[in-house]
């Protein structure tokens, strides 16, 4: 989808969203994942509703509203919907960005994904596949693998890693369920 800007010589803006979703295990959902349940609070429970179909709808709705007000962007705006983000993008997005058609779009900036909010506030949280870069410094007696020390730094480091692994294990089924 292309919305022509008033100065098409400028690099364009690409709004990208993926339409595929991760597999769902219905037994692990509070609502049927393939039914799009609307709760009394206005929340929609459905496979892919948050990741990433809500963003696709936001792009379309924003442009519809701006066009209704006769707004014309300075830069041309393109919207792309890719089919394979959840499996690495190799057969869809990757081939698209390497194509002549993509180069002809003259993309200068891309917005991709995000989370919907019902108001002007945005929650900060961690989510599945979010990188957590940690530096762990272990305190204790320095040592060597050939000796056993009480309160050894290496043992304390291993305890920290075990805590992280237990947390990861506790999240595994939740993330896998969608």
Q: DSSP for 66-100?
A: HHHTT---SS-EEEEEES-GGGTSTTTHHHHHTSH
Q: DSSP for 89-132?
A: STTTHHHHHTSHHHHHT-EEEEEE-----SSS-------TT---
What are the catalytic residues?
20, 85
CA 83 to chain centre: 15
Please state, as a whole number, how many other Cβ atoms lie within 10 Å of the Cβ of residue 93. Answer: 19
CA dihedral 137, 162, 23, 34 (to 10 degrees): -100
Residue 50 in contact with residue 29, Cβ under 8 Å? no
Cα–Cα distance between 30 and 56 in angstroms, integer? 24
Residue 109 in contact with residue 46, Cβ under 8 Å? no
């Amino acid at each position: 989808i292309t919305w022509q800007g008033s100065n098409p010589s400028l690099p364009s803006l690409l709004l990208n969203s993926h339409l595929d979703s991760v597999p769902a295990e219905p037994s692990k959902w509070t609502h049927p994942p393939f039914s799009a349940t609307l709760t009394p609070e206005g929340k929609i429970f459905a496979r892919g509703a948050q990741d990433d179909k809500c963003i696709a709808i936001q792009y379309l709705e924003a442009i519809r509203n701006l066009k209704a007000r006769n707004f014309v962007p300075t830069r041309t705006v393109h919207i792309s919907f890719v089919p394979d983000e959840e499996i690495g993008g190799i057969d869809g997005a990757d081939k698209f960005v390497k194509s002549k058609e993509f180069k002809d779009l003259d993309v200068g900036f891309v917005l991709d994904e995000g989370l919907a909010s019902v108001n002007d506030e945005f929650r900060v949280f961690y989510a599945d596949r979010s990188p957590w870069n940690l530096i762990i410094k272990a305190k204790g007696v320095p040592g060597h693998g050939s000796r056993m020390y009480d309160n050894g730094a290496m043992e304390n480091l291993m305890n920290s890693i075990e805590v992280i692994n237990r947390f990861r294990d506790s999240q595994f089924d939740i993330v896998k369920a969608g």
